[in-house]
């Protein structure tokens, strides 16, 4: 069936000749002129008049091309082989018009451009130069701001620090600017999905650790407590004394009754699973400059039934071998430092950031590096808040005068920290690392204690301006035992402040990854191998190379070290403590640690 649409006839498929790509020979006697005479209905392309293409002030007026010779027809010839006709005769028609164009002569004496176009071109050239100049200036300012103050707009410091930013930036040294380059990682969000997955995996791993430790605690207190209870010996001796003959003590050992404790006997201290279930679980760390002790994974429990507490250490050897050992034996303990010294631990003493103090001499099984100090201080880094809230509703604890005094002490120290924060906005790394080294050098006795004059001198050397009244208030808080000396590490934490435990957890995680041999210090060569600057914004934008960013980090870190070839945990923590002062958001600080160290 033949179809005809808009005057074009459709021929059967057999009549359509596909285009083969080769030029077919023309029929005998056929010429382009004779073909044109036989087909007068075909359109003719008008000739191109190059002489009319001249510059004129009348831009909207086009030159009229005479179309007297043009014959335009919109109705193609009606034929059953229309498609065949178009395919066969399209090329000769093009050849005919090309031959006509070759006969035209292109004029060589074209007129010059008018003054109007010259003026427009000059204006365009001037605008382009000015625009490029402004663009270059903006880029230079942006690059300078990134180098001197790598901080996103949403993470700016408080208004007081911003107002004095110009004066502070004038006092920055080259070392300060190199340290501030690390803040550039806070703007990098290149691995958001990967970070989310890794955080979820870390949470699952931490829950498994806590479950393992909790099971071990229950085993130790339920199965072993009966055997190790001293009361068992007294009961057994009373039962056997009624049946033992006077001369039986002289009998041979093989005739004596040798049995384990009678586990069926119920003593006063016998525990049940229900009694042990009322507890608060918390994570802790040792406040120490020793890397091995500071990175110990400690998990503690406070039991409500007898107000006792215990702390266990989770240790991992390789990938598959783990062990759980008691670090602080289960017992009733009291505060050994501060305003609550001598008071028994209660439920209100357990919260994130709280310090638990113990006498090292009372725990002979502790590591030697811990027993070197008189006091062992544990900082609570995380706690089971659900269990804590549930137990607090059941127990009734009244606030006493000591609680009010501790609140006032915190307010006094917080006011001093706010004043010093303005002075440490961009110079935190250099001042904190140098301040720690200076205090350590002043400690001639090596016991970690300094008097009032030494601490005043240290503040004066590093231009940390603290008023006399504020200093005396801080001294009264820290020197609660009237010994005339205070721990300079505690003094530094009190007046300068500390980053929160969430940030410190990532600092310890980075240090543990770098400390391959678990020695408590990291060789500089290992830090150079592990530090990766590929994702630093300056490297991505091409303003700096990986080696430049790495060198700037190592240079500022080495300045904090007492040894040129290794970094201790305390020095590593001081570096990031100073960097943390100028960063408000916790996740930005975590990015600074995650990105270069891959944690």
pLDDT in tens, 434-451: 888 888 888 888 788 888
- In this structure, is the dihedral angle defined by the CA atoms of residues 568, 574, 579 and 580, taken in order, positive or negative? positive
| pLDDT score recorded for residue 230 | 57
201 vs 210, higher pLDDT: 210
> Is the per-residue pLDDT at 375 higher than 80?
yes
Domain covering 278-397 assigned CATH 3.10.450.50 in the classification: no
| pLDDT score recorded for residue 569 | 92
> Is the per-residue pLDDT at 226 higher than 80?
no
The whole-model pTM stands at 0.64
| pLDDT score recorded for residue 527 | 92
> Is the per-residue pLDDT at 343 higher than 50?
yes
Give the Cα separation of 410 and 423 in Å (integer).
Answer: 20
Least confident of 269-278, 352-361, 466-475, 572-581: 269-278
Which contacts of 447-451 are long-range, i.e. CB under 8 A and separated by 24 or more positions? Answer: 448/373, 448/487, 448/488, 448/489, 449/485, 449/486, 449/487, 449/488, 450/485, 450/486, 450/488, 450/491, 451/484, 451/485
* Neighbouring-strand partners of residue 5: 8
- The residue-averaged pLDDT of 387-392 equals 90
- The residue-averaged pLDDT of 207-211 equals 90
Residue 338: CB partners within 8 Å, gap ≥ 6?
A: 355, 357, 406, 480
- In this structure, is the dihedral angle defined by the CA atoms of residues 181, 182, 183 and 188, taken in order, positive or negative? positive
Query: What is the domain partition of the chain in residue ranges?
Result: 1-26+73-98, 278-397, 403-496
Q: Which two tokens stand for residue 543?
A: 């303003």
> Is the per-residue pLDDT at 5 higher than 50?
no
| pLDDT score recorded for residue 53 | 56
Query: For the chain, what percent of residues have pLDDT higher than 70?
Result: 63
* Tally of CB atoms within 10 A around 311: 23
Q: What's the number of CA atoms in the CB half-sphere (13 Å) around residue 544? A: 22
Least confident of 266-275, 285-294, 541-550: 266-275
* Tally of CB atoms within 10 A around 75: 9
Going by pLDDT thresholds of 50, 70 and 90, the confidence category of residue 326 is very high
> Is the per-residue pLDDT at 212 higher than 50?
yes
> Is the per-residue pLDDT at 558 higher than 50?
yes
- The residue-averaged pLDDT of 241-264 equals 51
| pLDDT score recorded for residue 59 | 47
- Alpha carbon of 7 to those of 36, 75, 77, 79, 197: distances in Å? 22, 7, 9, 10, 66
598 vs 37, higher pLDDT: 598
Going by pLDDT thresholds of 50, 70 and 90, the confidence category of residue 225 is low
Q: Find where tokens 């408080």 sit.
A: 158
Q: What is the DSSP secondary structure assignment for residue 562, as one 8-state letter?
A: S
Q: What's the number of CA atoms in the CB half-sphere (13 Å) around residue 209? A: 22
Average pLDDT, the chain: 74
**pLDDT tens sequence across 491-520:** 998 889 889 999 999 999 999 999 988 888
Going by pLDDT thresholds of 50, 70 and 90, the confidence category of residue 7 is very low
| pLDDT score recorded for residue 166 | 38
Per DSSP, the three-state class of 565 is coil
Give the Cα separation of 234 and 237 in Å (integer).
Answer: 5
C-beta of residue 556 within 8 angstroms of C-beta of residue 179: yes
| pLDDT score recorded for residue 320 | 79
Going by pLDDT thresholds of 50, 70 and 90, the confidence category of residue 337 is confident
Stated length of the chain? 599
Give the Cα separation of 502 and 483 in Å (integer).
Answer: 33
List, in sequence order, the alpha helices (H) in 9-114.
Answer: 32-38, 82-102
If you count DSSP H runs as helices and E runs as strands, how many of each does the chain have, helices first? 24, 12
Residue 494: CB partners within 8 Å, gap ≥ 6?
A: 413, 416, 474, 477, 478
Q: Which two tokens stand for residue 563?
A: 């040894």
> Is the per-residue pLDDT at 249 higher than 80?
no
**pLDDT tens sequence across 66-75:** 444 444 444 4
> Is the per-residue pLDDT at 112 higher than 60?
yes
Query: For the chain, what percent of residues have pLDDT higher than 90?
Result: 23
- Alpha carbon of 218 to those of 223, 232, 267: distances in Å? 8, 20, 18
| pLDDT score recorded for residue 129 | 73
Going by pLDDT thresholds of 50, 70 and 90, the confidence category of residue 234 is low
- The residue-averaged pLDDT of 159-165 equals 38
403-496: CATH topology is Recoverin; domain 1 (1.10.238)
| pLDDT score recorded for residue 275 | 85
| pLDDT score recorded for residue 484 | 83
| pLDDT score recorded for residue 541 | 87
| pLDDT score recorded for residue 195 | 65
In the chain, % helix, strand, coil (3-state, to 5) comes to: 50, 10, 35
CA 266 to chain centre: 54
> Is the per-residue pLDDT at 452 higher than 50?
yes
- The residue-averaged pLDDT of 326-330 equals 92
Least confident of 102-116, 154-168, 237-251: 154-168
Give the Cα separation of 131 and 134 in Å (integer).
Answer: 5
| pLDDT score recorded for residue 39 | 54
């Amino acid at each position: 069936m033949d179809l005809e649409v808009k005057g074009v006839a459709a021929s059967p498929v057999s009549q359509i000749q596909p285009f083969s790509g080769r030029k077919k020979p023309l029929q005998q006697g056929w010429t382009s002129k004779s073909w044109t005479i036989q087909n007068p209905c075909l359109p003719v392309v008008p000739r191109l008049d190059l002489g009319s293409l001249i510059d004129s002030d009348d831009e909207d007026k086009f030159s009229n091309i005479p179309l007297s010779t043009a014959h335009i027809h919109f109705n193609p010839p009606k034929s059953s082989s229309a498609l065949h006709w178009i395919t066969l005769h399209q090329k000769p028609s093009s050849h005919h018009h090309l031959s006509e164009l070759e006969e035209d002569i292109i004029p060589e004496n074209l007129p010059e451009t008018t003054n109007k176009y010259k003026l427009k071109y000059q204006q365009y050239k001037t605008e382009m130069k000015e625009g490029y100049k402004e663009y270059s200036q903006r880029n230079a300012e942006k690059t300078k701001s990134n180098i001197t103050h790598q901080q996103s707009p949403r993470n700016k410091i408080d208004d007081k620090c911003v107002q004095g930013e110009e004066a502070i930036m004038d006092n920055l040294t080259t070392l300060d600017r190199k340290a501030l380059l690390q803040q550039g990682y806070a703007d990098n969000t290149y691995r958001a999905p990967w970070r989310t997955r890794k955080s979820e995996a870390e949470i699952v791993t931490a829950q498994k650790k806590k479950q393992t430790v909790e099971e071990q605690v229950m085993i130790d207190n339920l199965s072993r407590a009966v055997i190790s209870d001293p009361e068992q010996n007294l009961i057994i001796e009373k039962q056997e004394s009624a049946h033992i003959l006077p001369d039986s003590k002289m009998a041979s050992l093989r005739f004596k009754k040798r049995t384990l404790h009678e586990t069926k006997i119920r003593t006063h201290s016998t525990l049940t699973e229900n009694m042990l279930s009322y507890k608060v679980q918390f994570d802790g760390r040792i406040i120490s400059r020793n890397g091995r002790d500071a990175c110990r994974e400690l998990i503690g429990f406070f039991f409500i039934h007898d107000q006792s507490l215990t702390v266990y250490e989770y240790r991992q050897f390789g990938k598959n071998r783990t062990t759980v050992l008691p670090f602080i034996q289960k017992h009733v303990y009291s505060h050994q430092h501060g305003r609550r010294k001598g008071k028994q631990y209660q439920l209100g003493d357990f919260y994130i950031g709280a310090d638990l103090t113990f006498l090292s001499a009372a725990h002979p099984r502790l590591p030697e590096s811990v027993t070197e100090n008189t006091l062992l201080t544990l900082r609570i880094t995380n706690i089971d808040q659900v269990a804590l809230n549930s137990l607090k509703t059941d127990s009734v604890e009244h606030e006493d005068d000591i609680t009010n005094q501790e609140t006032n002490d915190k307010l006094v120290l917080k006011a001093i920290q706010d004043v010093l924060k303005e002075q440490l906005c961009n110079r935190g790394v250099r001042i904190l690392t140098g301040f720690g080294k200076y205090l350590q050098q002043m400690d001639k006795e090596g016991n970690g204690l300094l008097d009032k004059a030494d601490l005043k001198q240290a503040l004066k050397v590093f231009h940390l301006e603290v008023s006399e009244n504020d200093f005396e208030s801080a001294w009264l808080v820290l020197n609660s035992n009237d010994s005339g000396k205070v721990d300079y590490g505690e003094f530094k934490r009190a007046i300068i402040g500390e980053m929160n435990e969430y940030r410190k957890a990532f600092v310890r995680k980075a240090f543990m990854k770098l400390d391959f041999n678990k020695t408590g210090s990291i060789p500089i060569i290992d830090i150079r191998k592990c530090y990766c600057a590929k994702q630093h914004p300056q490297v991505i934008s091409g303003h700096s190379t990986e080696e430049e960013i790495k060198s700037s980090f190592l240079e500022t870190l080495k300045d904090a070290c007492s040894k040129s070839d290794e970094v201790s945990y305390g020095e590593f923590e001081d570096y990031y403590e100073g960097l943390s002062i100028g960063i408000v958001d916790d996740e930005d600080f975590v990015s600074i640690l995650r990105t270069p160290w891959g944690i």
